[in-house]
Amino acid sequence: MAVPPSSSARRRIVRVTALSAALTAAVFATGPAMAGGDPSGASHPEPTAQGVKPTVVLVHGAFADASGWNAVVERLQHRGYPVVAPPNPLRGVLSDSAYVASVLKSIKGPIVLAGHSYGGAVISQAAAGNENVKALVYVSAFMPDVGENPATLSTKFTGSDLGTALRPVPYTDGTTSGTDLYIQNDKFHAVFAADLPEAQTRVMAVEQRPVAQAGFGQNATAAAWRTIPSWFIVAKNDKAIAPDLERFEAARAKSHTVEVESSHVAMMSHPDLVADQIRNAAHTTVGNAQ
């Protein structure tokens, strides 16, 4: 027959049970944690519009794919943001932006739209006329005005080594033909991603997605940054797009601008900073919405 606990033992059991309940409540109040702590390193409140965070849409550029955003996606998801990183066809500014615009139309609620490199030209066009796009974020990107294109913008300032690093390759898809542009494999590290490990950039070089030469020269017919608030991350060590061009574009658009000691792929080498700027754009625009 079991012996009932003494009164002092009962008091200890009550205290332990209460402590356990308090610890459990504290854990659930703070929410799930990512191994190693919060990777974003930021602490300001998260933006909401009627209790919902904006969807962040990330558009990659030429010679790359959406996996370049991986580290940024992880940080945004950890903060509870819905994220979409669609494939950029890389066939031309006008057709690529039409495709991205169709993706944007499928998203309900506010959007923060970010573009890297050539993806900047695409988002400038794709966001035009879409009232759900509340902020644009440019990461070492092209930011053309109406009548401009990435090819001509590239000639405005010195500092880019991309032109002499390109390898043209004829292509056909059975109905059309043209020329694709790749970065020469042996120049990929220095021009595109000098602050990433060479072992990583050797893989990126052979997996790169080319941009159509003709499409790279298509003129923009819209410039959404003229009406939508913008943020710009200037990569100070960029060898694909001249840093002075990035500064010119950001100043012309009156963007909220930060500079970082980075190669062209700031979203890969400095994902904390890029994620924080996207969150700043969301907080400044959507966070103040009524």
User: For residue range 226-275, what is the model confidence (pLDDT) as tens digits?
Assistant: 999 999 999 999 999 999 999 999 999 999 999 999 999 999 999 999 99
Residue 178's DSSP bridge partners are: 171
Q: How far apart are CA 159 and CA 156, in angstroms?
A: 10
Tell whether the torsion through CA atoms of 140, 144, 150 and 152 is positive or negative. Answer: negative
The pLDDT, as a whole number, for residue 47 is: 55
Q: How far apart are CA 251 and CA 115, in angstroms?
A: 17
Report the predicted TM-score, pTM, of the whole model to 2 decimal places: 0.83
Q: How far apart are CA 163 and CA 167, in angstroms?
A: 9
Q: Which amino acid is at 82?
A: P
Where the chain has pLDDT below 50, the residues are 1-3, 5-43, 49, 289-290
Q: How far apart are CA 158 and CA 244, in angstroms?
A: 8
Q: How far apart are CA 243 and CA 61, in angstroms?
A: 17
The pLDDT, as a whole number, for residue 51 is: 58
Write phi, then psi, for 246 (nearest 5 degrees). -60, -45
Q: How far apart are CA 281 and CA 267, in angstroms?
A: 16
Q: Do the beta carbons of residue 150 and residue 93 sit within 8 Å?
A: yes
- b/e code 85-106 from CB counts within 10 Å (16+ = b): bbebbbbbbbebbeebbeebee
The distance between the two most distant Cα atoms of the chain, rounded to a whole number of Å, is 92
Q: Residue 225 CB: number of other CB atoms within 10 A? A: 25
Q: How far apart are CA 140 and CA 238, in angstroms?
A: 8
Summarised one tens digit per residue, pLDDT across range 149-171 is 999 999 999 999 999 999 999 99
- Vertex 15, ends 9 and 17: CA angle to 5°? 100
- DSSP, collapsed to helix, strand or coil, labels residue 196 as coil
The pLDDT, as a whole number, for residue 46 is: 61
Cα within 13 Å of Cα(168), Cβ side: 9
Write phi, then psi, for 258 (nearest 5 degrees). -130, 150
List of E strands, the chain: 55-59, 83-84, 111-116, 133-139, 166-172, 177-183, 211-212, 230-235, 256-260
Cα within 13 Å of Cα(268), Cβ side: 21
Q: Do the beta carbons of residue 209 and residue 90 sit within 8 Å?
A: yes
